[in-house]
Amino acid sequence: MYRNKITYFKISMAILIIFCTATVVDAEEISLKEAISQGLNNNLEIKQQQNNINNLERQLQTIRAQQGWQIKVSSNYSEVISEGEILNAAGVLQSTNNLRTVSGSSSTLSINRNFASGLNITQEAVYNDENESDYGVLISYPLFKGAPTESEKSYYQQEQEFLKAKNDLNSLIESKITAWLGDYLQILRLKSRKENADLQLKNAQKTYAESQELYKNSQLSQRELKSAEAAVIDAETNYKQLANQYQNSLMSFKLALNLDKEIEIALNNKEYLNKISSELINYQDNNFENMYKNLLKTDYDLKSAVINLRLQEKQLKWFRGEGRTDINLSGSYNYSTDRSTVGVTFSYDLFDGSQREFNEKNLKDNIQLAQANLANLKESKKLVLENQLSSLNASLNKKKSSILKLENAENQFELAGEQYDSGLITKKELKQQEISYQQSKISYQEALDQLFIVKLELTMLIYNDYLDIFNRGVFNEKK
């Protein structure tokens, strides 16, 4: 059952991303799903992280391209203007060596490739305007290979950075989705509060109008009239404040999603929100240990910390594999002289002033820091999980309390209706009970909203790979 709930949740979250390519043209209103999808597509932070991922991916492709065949063509032409004295032209630079130069042109074709094994092949063909040509091949290969080539090391390091960047992107997307859903629910509650404040204002205005008539007929004191007038001012101030908060929250929400001001967001997505709510994990089906174990396997921060630790361990392994010894096989062939050579180069680092020991100590220290960081992060995530479960319990208690208050307010409102029908209370008192009842309904809905967000955060915390479901194309919902 737990796995099914998780699968449903991941699919539900994927729907928020599947519309990232959706565009709005002259649309009067868009759904919450479309609004969040546009936010994911247009949010600057997400774009920056995606750009970082694209750059890392291109760097990986560049490294692989450098390991392929490299072909270069070059041509040169020289004209001797004045030779001067040959003996005086002697020098240490190749351009002033003690040789007679001649005018003419030549072209060179160079073909080179560095293999992952360390094998290097270089071929060069030369042709000049004297119809002379030459061809040569140079080959080198490390016989003692204790570590990958520098190119392979660079590729592995960039690949780990690429994986960490993807983790960062997924984590950022989750945080944005959670925050935006919370903002949306807050807008709904502000809208309800504004409507209730409007009801309260109208009731206060009506009461004040009635009080003025009673005062004219000397049936109401000036103190009571001023009290009714003050009630109107308070109700009007409260309404304006809530209306302003509602508009500002709505505009801030659009700004966060990078939506045009003219676009209206539908505020009647209860069915979709209820669907998400029903697909969140049921914490009662799992104990703390199971949730924590799952968190350790899926949390993006922990995944990145593990990647960093493995990279540090790899670097130490490479360093030790390199050793102090180098043995390289080399060979060459020259067409014009029909000469072939083969040789072996051996080198051993007898003394380096303890550089290797210092470098190895640095690498070991890096591993210890990475291990400590991973261990601390695990404990930190355990505390986060404990706090999240504590917040969940608090939200559940708040829900229970709000239910009791709502039931009491409903009973009071029904009783007030009966009392009004019997002439025991005034219409003003009945309206006041209605306002109190509506406020209790809002408070109850706020408790449900808080519980929804807490359960959403808990689900995000202990299960993070809903994006994989989307990327595999399992879910495809029509608009």
Q: Each residue of 363-385: pLDDT tens digit?
A: 999 999 999 999 999 999 999 99
Q: How far is residue 381 CA from its own chain's centroid?
A: 18
Residue 284: its H or E element: none
Q: For a pLDDT cut of 70, what percent of the chain falls above it?
A: 86
Cβ atoms within 10 Å, residue 67:
16
Q: What is the pLDDT of residue 82?
A: 61
Mean pLDDT to the nearest integer, 154-171: 92
Q: Each residue of 76-130: pLDDT tens digit?
A: 887 766 655 554 444 444 444 444 455 678 888 999 998 888 888 999 988 887 7
Q: Report d(CA 477, CA 276) in Å as an integer.
A: 14
Sequence-distant (≥ 6) Cβ neighbours of residue 367 within 8 angstroms: 309, 312, 313, 316
CATH architecture of the domain 2-64+154-199+269-322+359-471 equals: Up-down Bundle (1.20)
Structural domain spans, the chain = 2-64+154-199+269-322+359-471
Q: Each residue of 245-266: pLDDT tens digit?
A: 999 999 999 998 888 888 888 8
Q: Each residue of 379-416: pLDDT tens digit?
A: 999 999 999 999 999 999 999 999 999 999 999 999 99
Q: Which of residues 375 and 355 earns the better pLDDT score?
A: 375
Q: How far is residue 276 CA from its own chain's centroid?
A: 21
